[in-house]
Amino acid sequence: MTGFGKAVKVFNHKKITVEVKSLNSKQLDAAVRLPQPYRAIELDLRTHMASCLQRGKVDMFVTSESADGVTPMNLNIDQLKQYKQQIELMSQELELPQPADWYQTLLRLPDAFKSEGASDDVTDDELEAVVQASDEALAALNEFRTQEGHRLEQFFEERIAAIQQIFGEVAQYETSRVDRIKARIIDSLAKLEGVDYDNNRLEQELIFYIEKLDITEEKIRLQNHINYFLETLHASEPGQGKKLGFIAQEMGREINTMGSKANQAELQQVVVRMKDQLEQIKEQVLNVL
């Protein structure tokens, strides 16, 4: 969802610049900041942004300046008169001394200067130029997002391939894990002097205990989630980011359950490595629409 787009239009000796930037968000949060003369098309720009973008915190900035880079400035005499009158009135009401340097005081106040020829009157053609610039900026933003999407797609494929490779190491530890658990229990019982036990009952209890540590179902579900993640990643329908996030969460649940049932250092290390790759996916999936 992150991206940036910019477009510049020159109209009637004015350079109109439109910049659009977007960040991650659960829904579309669009904001438009533009000069006062262009406020009439603010709603149109917001509507167009909503039609072009699905999600993200999007800010559009519109500026207008002289095309030659030089904007003649004049003193805003009317505004300065009002400032001086208000300061003199404040001085009387609050019994405060008047400024020692009126020039320094007044020229620091807002709107002390105004652009020569500045006017709130703009033509429909100028507003159309602003709309065209916004179209180009939004197109540039979407192009930026598309390029970022291709990079993320490759990133996810690499991380999923790494998880799949690490997941393949689980099988080599399963048989030895069961044998070690069984041997450890029997050795512990052998060390108990004067304790007699039924071998048949012991076998039943071992089977029950080992079944509780069995991770076959978790392995099947994790593989299904991996396949579903890749299927969703390559789907033609747009807006799959939230679904990818949900699938990643389900993958995490199965990996965590495997870790809790591992009862073996080597298998737990495999789980940690898978979780490391999955966390990288979870961090970046927030950038996907």
pLDDT digits (tens, 9 = 90+) for 44-103: 999 989 888 888 899 999 988 877 655 566 788 988 999 999 999 999 999 999 999 998
pLDDT digits (tens, 9 = 90+) for 174-233: 767 667 777 777 677 667 666 666 667 667 766 666 667 778 889 999 999 999 999 999
Residues 276, 212 within the same domain:
yes
Contacts of 156 (CB under 8 A, 6+ apart): 229, 233, 244, 281, 284, 285
Residues 181, 276 within the same domain:
yes
- DSSP one-letter string for 36-64: GGGGGGHHHHHHHHHHH-SSEEEEEEEEE
Nearest CA to 163 out of 98, 248, 236, 56 is that of 248
Residues 176, 251 within the same domain:
yes
Calculate what percentage of the chain has a pLDDT beyond 90.
44
> Which tokens belong to 51?
């039609």
119 pLDDT more than 60: no
103-138 core/surface letters (b: 16 or more CB in 10 A; e: else): eeebeeeeeeeeeeeeeeebeeebbebbbebbebbb
Any domain includes 160 = no
Any domain includes 155 = no
β-pair partners for 3:
22
Q: What is the mean predicted confidence (pLDDT) over 264-268? A: 83
Residues 87, 54 within the same domain:
no
For residue 131, which amino acid is it?
V
Residues 198, 244 within the same domain:
yes
Q: Which domain holds residue 26?
A: 3-70+128-144
> Which tokens belong to 10?
């020159």
Residues 222, 279 within the same domain:
yes
pTM above 0.85, yes or no: no
Q: What is the layout of strands, in order, in the sheet containing 14-23? A: 3-11, 14-23, 56-66, 28-33
Residues 13, 134 within the same domain:
yes
**What is the SS3 assignment for 21?**
strand
Any domain includes 244 = yes
Q: What is the mean predicted confidence (pLDDT) over 117-129? A: 76
Please give the pLDDT value at position 162. 96
Any domain includes 196 = yes
> Using 50, 70 and 90 to split pLDDT, how confident is the model at 118?
very low
> What total of structural domains would you count in the chain?
3
Any domain includes 98 = yes
Calculate what percentage of the chain has a pLDDT beyond 70.
85
* Whole-angstrom distance, CA of residue 258 vs CA of residue 252: 10
Residues 191, 276 within the same domain:
yes
Task: Give the count of beta carbons closer than 10 Å to the beta carbon of residue 253.
Answer: 13
